[in-house]
Amino acid sequence: MKRRVIVLVVGALLAVGAVFAVRATAERFGSSDAQEAAPTLGSSLPSVIPTRPSTGEAALNLGWQRIDGDEFDGAKVDTTRWRVYDGYNAASKETLSAKQCSVSGGVLTITGLANAAGTTCGMAWKQNRTFGRWEVRARFPAPADAGFNPVFLLWPADDANWAATGEIDFAEEYDTARQYVQSWLHGPGNTDGGYYQSHRFDMTQWHNYAVDWQPDRITLYLDGQPWGAYLDRPFIPQKPMHLVIQQNYNRKHPGIPLQSSVQIDWVRIYR
C-alpha cells in the first residue's frame, strides 16, 4: 500500500532543495474514517518507566543530554536551522507557503488556510543524525478540518530512497476533535513496520511528544511517559534522519476546508 511520497517542491514559488513528506491518504484511509483498517500494532513496551516522579518531559525524567533545539523566541522561523517548504507539490497536489509557518510570542504556528487550495506549510531541521532523542511541546487547536493532518516525524537524509531507509512518524494527528494521537513506523523496506494509537487526552492543551530512536528500538513518549515502542530490529532505521514538522493537506470533502493549525512551543534535540 502506498504510504508516503516525497518530491522536490516545484513551481514559481520554488524553495531550492525543499522536500515535503506527505501521506497518500486517498489510498490509505476511507473518505470519512481517520482510522487505518486493521493496523499492525507495535510491540509491547520495554522496561523504561521512570523510577522517579514524572516531570512531564521525557528528557528530564530520563536524564537525556541536550545538544540542540529551537525555542522559537525570534520574530520569524530561523532559516539557519530550518528549511521551510514553499511552492506547489504536484505529486500531493498541495500548495505550500512559507508564510503559513509563523513565529510570534515564543510559539511557532503552522496554519492551514480556509481556501480552495488548503494552503499549508512544513519545515525540516537542516542537520541529520543517526539515532538520538527529540522532544516537541505542542498543542493542536480544535475543531480542525479532516483534511489537515499535523505530524512530527523523522525523515531520512537520503529522501530519494526514503523507503529503503525508513520513516518514523512519532506524533501524527487525524482526529478533528484532537483527542488522541497516532504513530506509524515505516521501517526499511516495510511501510507497515508498526502502528500505535494513544489513549484519549485533550490535545488542544500543551503536551510533550518525544521519541527515542536507538539501534534496536524506538520508544514513544507522551508527557514524559512511554506509550509505545517498536522493537522489531529489521524495521528500525539505521541511517541518518532529521526532524520534520508539518501539516499535510489531504482533501476529505468538497468546498473550502476549515482553517486549522498546530502550535509548537519548543523543539529540543538530545543525545
Single-letter amino acid code for the residue at 176: T
What pTM did the predictor assign? Answer: 0.85
Could you tell me if 19 and 8 are in contact, meaning their C-beta atoms sit under 8 angstroms apart? yes
Strands 66-70 vs 19-23: parallel, antiparallel or unpaired? unpaired
Which of 109, 133, 117, 141 lies closest to 221 in space, CA to CA? 133
Average pLDDT, the chain: 85
pLDDT classification of 104: cutoffs 50, 70, 90: very high
CA distances from 50 to 81, 166, 197, 211 (A): 31, 28, 21, 15
The pLDDT tens digits of the residues spanning 196-245 come to 999 999 999 999 999 999 999 999 999 999 999 999 999 999 999 999 99
State the CB neighbour count (10 A cutoff) for residue 158: 13
| Residue in the structure block whose three cell numbers are 482533501 | 251
Q: Is the pLDDT of residue 100 over 90?
A: yes
Average pLDDT over residues 152-174: 95
State the CB neighbour count (10 A cutoff) for residue 188: 18
Give burial (CB, 10 Å; 0-12/13-18/19+) of 165: buried
Contacts of 216 by beta carbon, 8 Å cutoff, 6+ apart: 231, 233, 236
- Report how far residue 138's alpha carbon sits from residue 121's, in angstroms, rounded to the nearest whole number: 16
The pLDDT tens digits of the residues spanning 42-55 come to 444 443 444 456 78
Strands 4-8 vs 167-172: parallel, antiparallel or unpaired? unpaired
Go through the domains of the chain in sequence order and give each one's CATH number: 4-31+40-270 (2.60.120.200)
The pLDDT tens digits of the residues spanning 168-178 come to 999 999 999 99
**Joined grid coordinates for residue 168:** 518514523
